[in-house]
Structure 1
């Protein structure tokens, strides 16, 4: 069954790692963060909220529709003074018009059915000239084969049903760009980005992470037995005893109001 983001037991599943240093470097090459007001919609466990706040933003607001996710985010970001959190919906944030210099929606839009309404709300809360950063996987990103670094590809090799579910909920680059332009945004950049998800000392550590479904909503579609079979399947394809650097390919779009 799908992950329940409102379940207390899932509070920390998206707060258990740090943003990759290369992620913030990639963002800073395209968007100036220094002194800016930032809104992180769909912040989950606050991983990227924290990264933005520690990279020179004046203040960062993390927003999520789940109170449990926000509780985990608050714990993850405790003692960082320029971070605040608010519960809200990506289609109706409840925020005032024209407040933010930058809006981030990372790993969010595949959960959204009405892309136009989502982008209209982001447009409304942004200042003129503000930057809109979207990061998500396209069907092409999802369809890459599994490898020693692209572990996710093995999910779909073992269970093709997962790939079909994944593709059905993902937007193509053309769909994202069309929705941005129809909303009034000007596209300034579109690029693929390989992000290191985590480094594991060995397969045993990776296996435990997979069995915990940590930060992987897709794995909640599997039963416990199916998940165990998947971990065994992946173990047969990796060199046991060697470190693993897991990466995922994303597409990033940056647009300006």
Structure 2
């Protein structure tokens, strides 16, 4: 499986070179702390959704495919005490994940491999998860087949898909268009390849890979604003946290939303 553009591969090389005082190299929120940036807010609350989905099922082992920074695996390890394995085809991404685990004193297994051909033993993991991976892969059915193979019977696939689609999130495209005359070209890179497949198409693909009891829901109604000065990140994040608390007055899960407002959708399947 090859990523369909060079920018996606180069992303991890660029991020891994950032100094530790910046926030891009890590999106982890240690226990007892609060998100300080928009991306931290997103990843922390995506983890909270996944935590509620897997809670109480006795799962102890998890694999994050396309792990990037390893943020989700680090959450599962630090908050849920899971034994985690992190897999990515990029050595720079795995290096960044190792850095995160070292700084936050986590323990995990790190694997450089293709998500469609991991080389891992079958029936190994209780949970296979990813955030923002499948939409970048033209033939994601192979990734789903491999996830099914390496998952234990009774295990769960939980993946967040962020496809190219029209929604409220397009506000950031308008924002970037207005900024274009004032910012260097490198600050306004084109988006990576994303497919436009619907949740039902992913459900069909997962079922054909062998999964059962597949479902999905739309998530994250909060627009992300980028690029912005770092000093603006915390006020926006504090506002979003306040809105999240307010939404809890009438909805049990305030990160769930509808198609128009959402960043993407979670796909949940069982083996």
TM-score (norm 2): 0.67
CA contact (8 A) 2:169 2:224 kept: no
Tell me how far 1:45 sits from its aligned partner: 0.9
CA contact (8 A) 1:49 1:61 kept: yes
Gaps of 5+ in 1: 210-241
The 5 A counterparts of 1:159-238 are 169-194=195-220, 203-205=228-230
The residue aligned with 2:97 is 73
Q: CA 1:172 to 1:52, structure 2 compared with 1: closer, same or farther past 3 Å? A: same
The residue aligned with 1:243 is 235
What CA distance in whole angstroms lies between the structure 2 residues aligned with 1:178 and 1:10?
Answer: 35
Q: CA 1:197 to 1:92, structure 2 compared with 1: closer, same or farther past 3 Å? A: farther
Determine helix, strand or coil for the equivalent of 1:29. helix
After the TM superposition, list the runs of 4 or more consecutive aligned residues in structure 1 that deviate by more than 6 angstroms: 156-159, 164-167, 195-200
The residue aligned with 2:48 is 25
Q: CA 1:115 to 1:199, structure 2 compared with 1: closer, same or farther past 3 Å? A: closer
Tell me how far 1:106 sits from its aligned partner: 1.3
Tell me how far 1:172 sits from its aligned partner: 1.5
Give yes or no for the alignment of 1:137 onto 2:162: yes
The residue aligned with 1:15 is 25
CA contact (8 A) 2:203 2:215 kept: no
What CA distance in whole angstroms lies between the structure 2 residues aligned with 1:61 and 1:175?
Answer: 28
CA contact (8 A) 1:40 1:49 kept: yes
What CA distance in whole angstroms lies between the structure 2 residues aligned with 1:145 and 1:102?
Answer: 29
What CA distance in whole angstroms lies between the structure 2 residues aligned with 1:10 and 1:196?
Answer: 24
Gaps of 5+ in 2: 1-5, 19-23, 29-39, 181-187, 241-261
Tell me how far 1:205 sits from its aligned partner: 1.9
User: Which of 2-11 and 30-39 deviates more?
Assistant: 2-11
Tell me how far 1:198 sits from its aligned partner: 7.9
The residue aligned with 1:86 is 111
Q: More strand by proportion, 1 or 2?
A: 1
**Equivalent pairs, count:** 216
User: Which of 8-17 and 111-120 deviates more?
Assistant: 8-17
What CA distance in whole angstroms lies between the structure 1 residues aligned with 2:193 and 2:178?
Answer: 14
The Cα offsets for residues 75-119 of structure 1, whole Å up to 9 and x where unpaired, read as: 111163431211111110010111000000211012211121110
TM-score (norm 1): 0.70
> What is the RMSD computed on CA atoms of the aligned residues?
3.6
CA contact (8 A) 1:143 1:153 kept: no
Tell me how far 1:53 sits from its aligned partner: 0.8
The residue aligned with 2:149 is 124
The Cα offsets for residues 147-205 of structure 1, whole Å up to 9 and x where unpaired, read as: 5xxx456347888xx9x9778623221210110111111234311111769899xx532
The residue aligned with 2:77 is 53
